[in-house]
Structure 1
Amino acid sequence: MALYTAAASVLAGLERREGALKTLVYKSRFQNIKQLYALVSETLRYSPVLDSIMAGACLLKAEKKLSPHLAKVLVYDLLFGKGLKCGGRWKVLVQKHRARLQAELARLKVRKKVSCNEDLLAPTESGNKASQVPRYVRVNTLKTCMDDVVDYFKRQGYSYLGRASRMEELSSLSGKQFFLDPHLPELLVFPSQTDFHENRLYITGHIILQDKASCLPAFLLSPPLGSQVIDACAAPGNKTSHLAAILKNKGQIFAFDLDPKRLATMSTMLVRAGVTCCELASEDFLAVDPTDPKFSNVSYILLDPSCSGSGMVNRQAGESTPSMERLRALAAFQRKALGHALRFPALRRLVYSTCSVEKEENEAVVWDVLQEHGPVFRLVNVLPSWPHRGLATFPGAECCLRACPTATLTNGFFVAVLERQLEHNGQGSCSAPPIKAEVDGGEGRGPCATRKKRRKKGPCVQ
């Protein structure tokens, strides 16, 4: 029974965006990692097929004690796997419905005009996309430094190729080669299949396994030392630990998440990463009062709200495109969260990001909120050399960043940076100090190294 409950827990973690598949499998502490990984991977691969079969057999209506994730794992092993060799009382529950489940599988094959199980799987590019994305390793500067990590990997037999001069070089990596990323100064890049989950540096928190696109929000927020920062939807915590590293633990991060289980996992990760400047709260960010004196000095906010996750190349293989109904519901929440964040009186800079590729959750949300807050906040044109920009759905949308496997060799992602205009501080005067616009990040410097002129008109600071 432990195998199936562990697999169901990993599936639930993926749905809650608590981490990548391998990360969650290793965190499960299940004894046979390979067995668990194989079961979850194959269940994900057959996920749309299993949904159809379970719906047709009315399994969840008949067995209300079964969670959807546990049911999916059990039905996979019954119909496509090893035939429920374990499972205890859950096995007994599902076995009662074997005939109906098998009949639904047979009917599905007839409808699809196929004869074997593999032919039920819809063609997908997710596997190809995942293979295009390298393994990114963020050096955790709270516990170590870049030179020491590079030397460590050299001693492990890896060949260090220096800083990549262009993004295309990253796709040529093979074997035990690695680059320093061309954009982010603390990010190393390895071939896509490189696995560090059992590496000593990962276990001790000296390195963080984090996709490059996911590193962009904290990098572009770039709060100065001593800043007070809000991470509005913080779990599972990789971005929070990145913010702490940028602050060098000299400042304060208020991290909010409504799910106490996600926060508990996050707390463990932050301790391992050496984060000491973070205050966790199991609280809905929308319920936080921007006028609370506790947050009167919060000047930087990172908002990475719940989204469809449509940009994650290795998330729930075969998952269908989110419905328009779901996108509208998510976008309504995202607009509300972004508008709420912009009401903090001392706010000077905010990063809004999603791991979605849907314009309804990205450009449309930013544009709608700018209509209300545009006189006070404007977009910043970040990383001008970044090849993939926001969709041209409104004037200045090119200031935003997009990411995808083909253009940037990352997961699908969206980032927008908003800054308070100089003439608007919390009291409507112009006493706020100048804010620097983003330029390309070079080695040994942050992303706010050079001051640029601002256009007087339009939503975008050039």
Structure 2
Amino acid sequence: MALYAAAAAVLAGVESRQGSLKGLVYASSFQNVKQLYALVCETQRYSAVLDAVITSAGLLRAEKKLRPHLAKVLVYELLLGRGFRGRGGRWKALLDRHQARLKAELARLKVHRGVSRNEDLLAVGSKPGPASQVPRFVRVNTLKTCSEDTIDYFKRQGFSYQGRASSLEDLGALKGKCFLLDSLLPELLVFPAQTDLHEHPLYQAGHLILQDKASCLPAMLLAPPPGSHVIDACAAPGNKTSHLAALLKNQGKIFAFDLDAKRLASMATLLTRAGVSCCELAEQDFLAVSPSDERYRQVQYILLDPSCSGSGMLTRQLEEPGAGAPSKERLRALAAFQQRALSHALTFPALQRLVYSTCSLCQEENEDVVLAALQQSSGAFRLAPALPSWPHRGLSTFPDAGHCLRASPETTLTGGFFIAVFERVEVPSSVPRAEAPAPDLRPSQAPKRKKRRQKAAAAPSTGPDT
């Protein structure tokens, strides 16, 4: 019930221009921001359809105490969403009284417009594109369980396990209650698009992290061995931080920085639920962190995923239907910040490896920032040729730009992403070489059967998602 009230408040705030949709979601008091964000985005996308159905059914005339924005959220959930599924309280009872009329008006609207599917009622700019076909990627949190136990749990729930994926076509063909193990990341499960696991007990207990495949690549490519000291420079909302902690096996130290207090608070909840114990959070601007500070003298790995235009985000088309490219002025401002942050990160004296990533498709935030940082480093760093088999490479704007990775719904069935891996050319004489071997960046082989650790089937249900 609180979910629907929170969604209505966000919609009202967006309409009155109190802030952006995402900003208002994070500013709300509702804990499960991902669930809230998804509901608001979908309700807004179908806004014109919902207005037409509500008006034709006379819902607001019949229920004078029902506010328009709340009515829109409730009718979306009833007709186009997942249904109330045992929640909704008095609002569900209220909508049940009008359910037949509302469904009849939706059917009438389809006949009038000559369409058979709900999606066909949308305006052209709001219709789902390639992003709607991206599978649901689910990272198994190895701090709490293992892939084998999680797969067994889903199989006992009636899901059909299809084994390890061998191609993108395998991922795109997933339907119903089938799922796969990703071909590249051994802890990444793949479900059909639109699969919703926000209320699944394994997710709520922190055994699963709902994270796009492209978003999993930065931590995987950074590959800090257990015991390392790592900086996550712009850390919230925390999925990549939890992935780093899993790679470290909670052995070592992660210094995580972010300036947004509310996002940092949500991140703390996420990390606690995920069982992360090696992370130190700081509400601080990474640019103000001194590389000469004694606390960071052992930092050899940095993950930098700075603020960006978000032009590759899957949810952007839902929040801003038909939105075009960001303005040149905004791109210049973002790129200037990104370049400062990247150049600053490269000055940490013990740094050996850095991953720079964005969820942007714009050259100004990606290849141009990387080239500027390489030039400023005066040859101290180079680009590592990460994942040579990855099909989508960096734009050919300078030598070695092909070492960078790009991702998109069309080419990799993921969100839009960019990744560059920097490595130091020579190890400073004052810094001992890491004892761990250099990470193998080839696609992972099928994992061997592990000894069963904590049973996924016994996972308790905890609080809502952040």
TM-score (norm 1): 0.74
Aligned position for 1:267: 268
Gaps of 5+ in 1: 50-73, 89-117, 446-462
Shift of residue 119 of structure 1? 12
> Which amino acid in 2 is paired with 1:339?
S
Q: Trace 1:366-385 onto structure 2 (pairs within 5 A).
A: 366-385=370-389
Correspondence 1:27 to 2:6? no
Between 1:2-11 and 1:125-134, the stretch displaced more is: 2-11
Give matches, 1:127-146, under 5 Å: 127-146=128-147
| Aligned residue in 1 for 2:246 | 245
Asked if 1:15 is matched to 2:22, the reply is yes
**CA spacing shift, 1:327–1:278, aligned 2, 3 Å:** same
Q: Equivalent residue of 2:137, what SS? A: strand
Measured against aligned partners, the alpha-carbon deviations of 1:381-404 in whole angstroms (never above 9, x if no partner) come to: 111111000011111111000000
Aligned equivalent of 1:187: 188
Paired amino acid for 1:335: Q
Q: Partners in 2 of 1:2 and 1:352 — Cα distance?
A: 35
Distance 1:210 1:256 in 2: 20
Match of 1:420 in 2: 424
1:435 CA displacement: 4.3
CA contact (8 A) 1:355 1:413 kept: yes
User: Aligned-pair distance for 1:40?
Assistant: 4.2
Match of 1:196 in 2: 197
CA contact (8 A) 1:126 1:317 kept: no
Q: Which amino acid aligns with 1:364?
A: D
What TM-score results when the alignment is normalised by the length of structure 2? Answer: 0.74
Query: CA separation in 2, counterparts of 1:18 and 1:353?
Result: 24
Alignment match, 1:112 = none
Aligned residues: 381
Q: Could you tell me how far 1:415 is from its partner in structure 2?
A: 0.4
Q: Deviation per CA, 1:253-307: give whole Å up to 9, x if none.
A: 0000001100000000100000000000000000000100010000000000000
**CA 1:281–1:44 in structure 2 vs 1: closer, same or farther (change >3 Å)?**
farther
Give the aligned CA root-mean-square deviation in angstroms.
Answer: 3.6
Report if aligned partners of 1:137, 1:207 keep a CA contact under 8 Å in 2.
Answer: yes
Point out where structure 2 has 5 or more consecutive residues left out of the alignment. Answer: 69-118, 449-466
Q: Deviations over 1:94-147 (max 9, x none)?
A: xxxxxxxxxxxxxxxxxxxxxxxx999863376122222000000000000111
- Please report how far the alpha carbon of residue 17 of structure 1 lies from its aligned counterpart in structure 2 after TM superposition: 11
1:375 partner SS: coil
* Contact 1:126–1:313 (8 Å) recurs in 2: no
Deviation at 1:443, TM superposition (A): 3.1
> Percent of aligned positions with the same letter in both sequences?
58
> Displacement of 1:26 after TM fit?
7.3
Q: Kindly report which structure 2 residues correspond to 1:339-418, keeping only aligned pairs within 5 A, or say none.
A: 339-418=343-422
Provide the residue aligned with 1:103 in structure 2: none
Deviation at 1:168, TM superposition (A): 2.0
Cα deviations by residue, 1:189-233 (Å, 9 ceiling, x for unpaired): 010021111111011010010000000000110100100000000
Decide whether aligned partners of structure 1 residues 174 and 25 sit closer, same or farther in structure 2, where only a CA change above 3 A counts.
farther
Over 3 Å counting, the alpha-carbon distance change for 1:17 and 1:283 in structure 2 is: farther
Higher relative contact order (CA 8 A, sep 6+): 2
How far did residue 164 of structure 1 move? 0.7
Alignment correspondent of 1:99: none
Show the 5 A alignment for 1:33-72: 39-43=40-44
Contact 1:405 1:412 in 2 (8 A): yes
Q: Residue deviations 1:35-79, cap 9 Å, x none?
A: x96554233566xx9xxxxxxxxxxxxxxxxxxxxxxxx9xx99x
* Contact 1:380–1:438, Cα closer than 8 Å, also in 2: no
> After alignment, is 313-322 or 285-294 more displaced?
313-322
Q: Could you say if the C-alpha distance between residues 37 and 361 of structure 1 is closer, same or farther in structure 2, counting changes exceeding 3 Å?
A: closer
